[in-house]
Structures are given as C-alpha cells and as structure tokens.
Structure 1
Amino acid sequence: MAEPTASTLAVRGARLLALLALAPTIRLAVIRHAVPPGVATRTGCDACGVPIGLARPWPALGPAARCGRCGARVGPPPGTVELAVATAVGALALLGPPVTVLVAMAWWWVWAIPLVFVDVAVHRLPDRLTWPAAAGTWLLLGLAALAGPGPAPWLRATAAGLALALFFAATTLLLGRRGFGLGDAKLALGVGALLGWYGWAAPVAGLLLALLLSGLLGVVLLLARRVGWRSHLPFGPFLVLGTVGALFLS
C-alpha cells in the first residue's frame, strides 16, 4: 500500500481537528435529547430555565458543564463528552483510512457519541440522531466508492446495514420488551454500512463484540447486585464499542 502524501496527511489532520472542535455542538445534542419519552427536547437549564444554545457563550456547553446563571450541572458529567471526542479523533488517526472513508467515519462518530450518552442517560436512541447517522454514513461511503474502489464495497455496505437493522428489528417484533429496541435497529443501519464496507466478517465481528461486552457487564453488575435479572441495559453504547473494535480488527 502506498504511503500517504504530505498533502493527504494535512487534509486528514485538518478534518480530525474539525471533529475535535465539534465537542460543544455534540454536548449540546446530548443536553437537548437526553430527555424522558414524551418530551421533545430540552430547551433550557432544568434548575433555572435559562435557554440553551450555541448563539451565546453558555458555560454548560464547555467541559465544566455548568449553567452560566445558576451554576447547576447540565447534561453529561464535566469533561466526558470532550474525552469521548478526543478518543474518537485518536481512533480515527490510528485507523488511518483514506480521506474519503475518513469523512464517512467522522460523520458516523459525530452522531454516535451523543447517541451513547443519551442511551446511557435515558435508554433512548432518538430518530433525530439515528437517521442522520445512517443516511450520512451511507451517502458518504457512496461518494468514497465513486472516488476509488467502485460500487462493490458500497453495495456490500448497503446490504450489511439493512441486514443488521433487520436482525435488531426482528428481535423487537418477536420478543417484545425482551428484544432489542427499534432505536437499536436504526443505529444498526449506519453501523452495518460502515462495517460492511470492509467485508462481511466486520459486521458479524462488531455484533459479536457488542453482545460479548454487554453480557460481561451484565454479569458483573448482577454479581455486584447493581441490577436484577429483569434489568435492561441500554445496548447502543455496546454496539458503538463493538463497531470500533471491529474497525480495528478489519
């Protein structure tokens, strides 16, 4: 494989830095969407009601995660979103995909990070985050196919995304509350497409890793008496972690 040129490395670095600069926007997405079912979005501080937005210098959108008026904590714990974004940038740098594929991966990360935080907080994977993640990843991989390897990997990615989503949707229809949720099926669309780009073994590995990680944590929490037999762990974070693991194995 040819070594990347200096200009290619510069483009990769610029796009990775752009992803790092999106940390406040990603934190805003988590704050807005980590709400109970039946609530559209969070529009202000829960304690004092001051509006949330990027238009003003609002301290809660920085690592401190505190309301600028009353000092109450808003959203994820301080520094966690920024650490997740920095980890994603490091992972993308280590993976070192071609620039066209890097754009698709970075797009998926931008949506996957808030989905993890929202799912952990309220056990939900909102459509406003899952659909853009899937659609954007699929379209950007299509552009990557046009720029280089041709349609074969993109067609495989399309089929893998649909297959993985149908698997999750089928468990919901057959098992009800004991199965995965439809939110997991929508998240799986983007996951399957991203992993399917690298072959059929990658989405299988990602799913198996996700199931293994969720099972191990469930056993640990059960032994520690932190959860009961009927408890339901959010699966979105494990699916994201399984995806990252499968990308490194591909």
Structure 2
Amino acid sequence: MMKSLSVLGILRLVTVAPVLRFAVARYGVPPGSPTRSGCAGCGAPIGPATLGPAGRCPACRGRLGAPPAAVELALVAALAVLVLVDGTLAERAAVAWWLAWAVPLVLVDLAVRRLPDRLTLPAAAGTVLLLGVAAATGVGSGPWLRALAAGAGLALAFAATTLLFGRRGFGLGDAKLALSVGALLGWYGWPTLVVGLVLTSVLSGVVGLALLLARRVRWSSHLPFGPFLVLGTAAALLLAA
C-alpha cells in the first residue's frame, strides 16, 4: 500500500510541479502590483510549460519565480506528510488539497511577504468541502462542524490582531490562511489545533531569535508568518497521525 502511494505521489509530483512553479512566479509580486504574466527582464510570456526547475526565464535566463528546485523540494516534503498522515480517502484528499496550495503560499510569502487571495481562499474552500465529504461518507457531522468553528474562529482571531495592532498584528493574508489551517486542525480535534498553534509560535520564535542573533534582522523586523503556520500545521498533523 505504501509503495503504491509513493508511486502515485511521484506521478502527481511530476504533473503538479509546473503548475505550482507558475503560481509562485505569477503571484510572487509585491503587494499592490499586478500579477506577473511575463518576464520582468525581457517581457517573454510565462506559463506552466515554460518554467523549469532552474527558476529562470526560458528566453533571457533571468531569475524568475521560486529559487531553483524549491518547488520540487517542497512538494517532496508535502508528499512525505501526505503518506504519513492517516485517514480515510476523503480526509487524505483534504490534506492533499491543502498541501498543494500551501507550497506556493509558503514560497510567495517568503519572497514578497504576502499571501494572495487567489491562493488562500481556494485552499480554504476546497479543504472545507473535502472535509464535508469525509463527514458525509464516514464519521458524521461532528468533526466537520468543529472544523468550521475552528477555521472561522482562528481566522477572526488573526483578523482581530490586524484591527487592534495594525502592522504589529497578523496580516489579513495570514487570517485567510488561518481559515484552512483552523479547519484542517480542528477536524482532528481541539488538542491538535492547540498543538499546531504552539508549534507555529515556537518555530517562529526560534527562527526569529536565531536571525536576530545572526544580525540578519532587527527587533523591528516583521517576519513572514505564513511559512511557520504551514510548518506548524504539518507537524501537528503528523503528531495526530
């Protein structure tokens, strides 16, 4: 069973990687800028079929999108999480859907410190829908209602920090990512949600302190929170497996 899942995962990796690589290039632009449709250097159009793992424009060879092989490495990590997480077919489909959107979200947030609606909202909608299928075909409505409450509650809590603290709080992109994060973790139970948030906070704190000690950031710097939220969520899912 594990071998068949691995083979299937590799096939999906090959087919999904170009699409996600294009998503990173397209949406990895500063806030307020239009989405990218071509190379900033030569203007050559870009698409899933034209961007290779090297992360360079096919025409002028200028750097474009994610760093070389970053998408592929992130997908390998996502595949490992999917293989190790237990659950029904619908539950695993929900995890797979969320991971597929999480990969470009992490890379875009690292590059330009933003989490585009075109990535966060489909991630949330598909995750909730697939968890609803899992509820209807198996465990019943209880976990799904808990997932809805967790997703909405976490998103509102994140958004409230933006209203209260401005730039010192979480961004609205983080709040929209929290919709899918809260729903996915809430499906597995309130303790899993708490563990995910604790791991996220610890990871962000440790990395922030390390960068501060290395003088790579200042006390006033604001690190992108999306990658830590994704890593904390993935770790909590593995612990819940």
Which TM-score bucket, shorter chain as reference? over 0.9
Aligned length: 240
Following superposition, the deviation at residue 201 of structure 1 comes to: 0.8
Aligned-partner Cα distance in 1 for 2:47–2:215: 40
Following superposition, the deviation at residue 23 of structure 1 comes to: 0.7
**Residue aligning to 1:3:** none
Structure 2 residue 163 is the aligned partner of structure 1 residue 173: yes
Structure 2 residue 103 is the aligned partner of structure 1 residue 109: no
**TM-score when scaled to structure 2?**
0.95
Following superposition, the deviation at residue 12 of structure 1 comes to: 8.3
Q: Is 2:28–2:111's contact at 8 Å kept on the other side of the alignment?
A: yes
2:185 to 195, 203, 206: 195
1:85 to 68, 75, 90: 75
**Residue aligning to 2:17:** 23
Residue aligned with 2:139, SS: coil
Aligned-partner Cα distance in 2 for 1:92–1:200: 21
**TM-score when scaled to structure 1?**
0.91
Aligned-partner Cα distance in 1 for 2:80–2:236: 16
Matches within 5 A, 1:182-221: 182-221=172-211
Aligned-partner Cα distance in 2 for 1:95–1:170: 32
Q: Is 2:85–2:92's contact at 8 Å kept on the other side of the alignment?
A: no
Following superposition, the deviation at residue 10 of structure 1 comes to: 4.9
Following superposition, the deviation at residue 248 of structure 1 comes to: 1.1
Following superposition, the deviation at residue 80 of structure 1 comes to: 0.8
Q: Is 1:195–1:203's contact at 8 Å kept on the other side of the alignment?
A: yes
**Residue aligning to 2:230:** 240
Q: Which amino acid aligns with 2:18?
A: P
Gapped regions of structure 1 (runs ≥ 5): 1-5
**Residue aligning to 1:147:** 137
Q: Is 1:105–1:194's contact at 8 Å kept on the other side of the alignment?
A: yes
Q: Is 2:24–2:66's contact at 8 Å kept on the other side of the alignment?
A: yes
Identical positions, percent: 61
Aligned-partner Cα distance in 1 for 2:228–2:126: 21
Q: Which amino acid aligns with 1:148?
A: G
Root-mean-square deviation over aligned CA pairs: 1.7
1:193–1:199 Cα change, 3 Å: same
Q: Is 1:138–1:158's contact at 8 Å kept on the other side of the alignment?
A: yes
